[in-house]
Structure 1
């Protein structure tokens, strides 16, 4: 069963990984997104994440359900609140019977999350403040 959360609490990878471990799965793929200092020539100081929690969690369910219907398991946690450089912003983990599915599904989850889940970031850069997702 999937585990999907939008939370102000720091993300701890080890317990989330354990939610993916099961004898039926031969492949576990994880993506951990952190706050980076540089995006090209733009230097970031910190990021504030906000979300429309109810809608975000429903959208995460829409992303996870087809994968789970095909025999996979999905774990997603996205932070909200103020994050500093190197803080974990998002954890995506997918377990599947085989590695190819795990890789494919993990990339699908993070890419679709970025495009469709109502989570916004306010980047505090050295030159100005920028909004994005």
Structure 2
């Protein structure tokens, strides 16, 4: 039950994890990205995420396709809108027959999502507002 989405709704990690549960998988790896307070010396107070949703979903599906073709299960959901400190921004989960495959696929998916999926952030810091992609 592959689940790929961009949503305004808060992410529920427990519910999303259930999309990965099946008896054929021995390894499940999950990455959860949250809004952090500090990036080096910069203090963040909130982030607004936006996306070109049709293209973002299409690109996420393209990223997941090779893993789905190998029989893995993939869940990728990114939240958009206004997020406060500690809010879940992204959930990526991979279920595979073995843990090493799940770890490698999950890391690859988050790294490639940040590089290629059209999602942008407007970061509110204590001293200014910064704009950017998903580079961190």
Fold match by TM threshold 0.5: yes
Separation in structure 1 between the aligned mates of residue 38 and residue 79 of structure 2, nearest angstrom: 20
- In the TM superposition, structure 1's runs of 4+ consecutive aligned residues that sit over 2 Å from their partners are none
Q: Answer yes or no: is 1:10 the counterpart of 2:10.
A: yes
3-state SS of the aligned residue for 2:67?
helix
Unaligned runs of 5+ in 2: none
Give the superposition deviation at 1:2. 1.8
Q: Answer yes or no: is 1:57 the counterpart of 2:54.
A: no
Partner residue of 2:22? Answer: 22
Contact 1:2 1:64 (C-alpha < 8 Å) held by counterparts: no
CA offset digits 1:23-75 (Å, max 9, x no partner): 00000000000000000000001000000000000000100110010111100
Separation in structure 2 between the aligned mates of residue 122 and residue 37 of structure 1, nearest angstrom: 14
Separation in structure 2 between the aligned mates of residue 132 and residue 25 of structure 1, nearest angstrom: 37
1:105-124 maps to which residues of 2 (within 5 A)? 105-124=105-124
TM, length-normalised to structure 2: 0.96
CA offset digits 1:66-87 (Å, max 9, x no partner): 0010111100110000000000
Partner residue of 1:92? Answer: 92
Unaligned runs of 5+ in 1: none
Partner residue of 2:126? Answer: 126
Give the superposition deviation at 1:16. 0.7
3-state SS of the aligned residue for 2:23?
coil
CA RMSD of aligned residues (A): 0.6
Give the superposition deviation at 1:125. 0.4
Count of residues paired in the alignment: 133
Separation in structure 1 between the aligned mates of residue 14 and residue 45 of structure 2, nearest angstrom: 27
